[in-house]
Amino acid sequence: MNITIIRNNQTYGPYAIEDVQRYVNHGTFLKYDIAYTETDTDRPKTVGYYLKKAGLRTSIEHEGNLFSQLGRIGRKMAFPFETLRQREWSSDTKLLILALVGLLPLAFGTFLGTGWLMFYAISLYFAAIWGMFFYTYFKTSQVRIKTTLIIFFLTQACVFVVFGLALNYLNVAYFLGNSNSFILKMLFFVLGVGVTEELVKSIPLYLISSRAREPLFPQTLVFYGLISGIAFGVFEGVEYQLGVNAEMEYGESFFSNIARLTSLPFLHATWCGIAGYFIAFARLYPKYRLSLYFLALSIPASLHGLYDTFTATLGGIGIILAILTGLFGVIMLMTYLRKGSSNRALFKE
């Protein structure tokens, strides 16, 4: 039996089966290399298949003992000092980014202690990960890194001013929060929490769109909305981790802290992304700006308020309803993005 062997699209042979056995024992060929015979060209098998069919066993030879093998390969494989000295690793940006992602949390805990600054740094860390994800999937030709950073920190400044000075209580719906009525609770979360927080997150979007030198695509403001939502989630997460979460039992606190760094900023981003979509259309078609600005606030505020209502009032079933509400928001945002071009036809005379 003569066998032809294929490895990495290179063809070798044909070889007698006994020679193939010897090559495998020597390590030249592998038992799982692709192989075929003159009569089996249309259905290639492996070297191991033909060796087994011929009743031939293999026993791969060792190249010396452990220490001689280490001496032979260690200098170039395990300890590539020449490559390290040439600093070829410094040009691998993917590797450096991976190192930052993997090691920064340890650095935060080591050098920043356990106070507010450490919580904020960890939140920024997760925000950066979300930001890179959004930048990869949602950026447009109009997106600028400088503008993205301005929006991120401007949102946090707006949050600090509004909630730090308790300006949110100018919204009379906040005074419904102490009620035991489900309806009044829902009005509190939708008209109070939802409207106020979604409006604060949208302020940078209104400013950026009004100062833009060209009409911004809806997708562009969706991206900026996602960034603004993440910025809000970072600030809110730090406040909860230092306040409410610190008073919980360990297991509940651990889960809540993780949620405040991952899922909840994502939800804030989704709701603000929806706002950005309608704000962009309001700037593109100013004759319809009243209704579009209304939608930019009412839809995210309703989704936000319903999510909070379900989690705060209905126990376990409420958590399920809240997750479904969050999922519905994501589906709505993706639908808006998909239908963006066709929706423009609605405004043509």
CATH number of the domain to which 35 belongs: 3.30.1490.40
One domain for residues 136 and 281 = yes
One domain for residues 226 and 343 = yes
Q: Whole-number mean pLDDT of the chain?
A: 87
66 within some domain: no
One domain for residues 45 and 155 = no
Greater confidence (153 vs 94) lies with: 153
Q: How confident is residue 274, by pLDDT bands cut at 50, 70 and 90?
A: very high
Q: How confident is residue 192, by pLDDT bands cut at 50, 70 and 90?
A: very high
Task: Measure the CA–CA gap between 204 and 210, rounded to whole angstroms.
Answer: 10
115 within some domain: yes
CA 192 and chain centroid, separation: 29
One domain for residues 26 and 164 = no
One domain for residues 199 and 266 = yes
Greater confidence (250 vs 77) lies with: 250
Closest listed residue to residue 343, CA positions, set 214, 165, 178, 219:
219
63 within some domain: no
One domain for residues 180 and 44 = no
pLDDT score at 89:
60
One domain for residues 270 and 338 = yes
pLDDT score at 115:
75
pLDDT score at 347:
61
pLDDT score at 318:
92
Question: What number is the average pLDDT over the span 113-119?
Answer: 78
Q: How confident is residue 302, by pLDDT bands cut at 50, 70 and 90?
A: very high
Q: Cβ contacts of residue 127 below 8 Å, gap of 6+?
A: 152, 230, 231, 233, 234, 265
Greater confidence (187 vs 123) lies with: 187
82 within some domain: no
One domain for residues 188 and 293 = yes
88 within some domain: no
Q: Give per-residue pLDDT as tens, 53-62.
A: 889 988 888 8
Helix (H, G, I), strand (E, B) or coil at 36: strand
Greater confidence (276 vs 259) lies with: 276
Q: How confident is residue 40, by pLDDT bands cut at 50, 70 and 90?
A: confident
Q: How confident is residue 240, by pLDDT bands cut at 50, 70 and 90?
A: confident
pLDDT score at 337:
85
One domain for residues 119 and 45 = no
Percent of the chain with pLDDT over 70: 91
Domain that holds residue 35: 2-53
Task: Measure the CA–CA gap between 290 and 278, rounded to whole angstroms.
Answer: 11
71 within some domain: no
Structural domains of the chain, count = 2
Model confidence at 75: pLDDT above 80: no
Partners of 3 in beta bridges = 15
Q: Cβ contacts of residue 99 below 8 Å, gap of 6+?
A: none
Closest listed residue to residue 100, CA positions, set 120, 133, 129:
129
One domain for residues 240 and 335 = yes
One domain for residues 26 and 133 = no
> In this structure, is the dihedral angle defined by the CA atoms of residues 143, 134, 322 and 254, taken in order, positive or negative?
negative
Q: Do the Cβ atoms of 20 and 51 come closer than 8 Å?
A: yes
- The enclosing H or E element of 6 equals strand 2-7
169 within some domain: yes
Strand residues in 186-244 grouped as ranges (E):
none
321 within some domain: yes
Question: What number is the average pLDDT over the span 72-100?
Answer: 68
One domain for residues 113 and 171 = yes
Peptide bond preceding 14 in cis form (omega within 30 of 0): yes
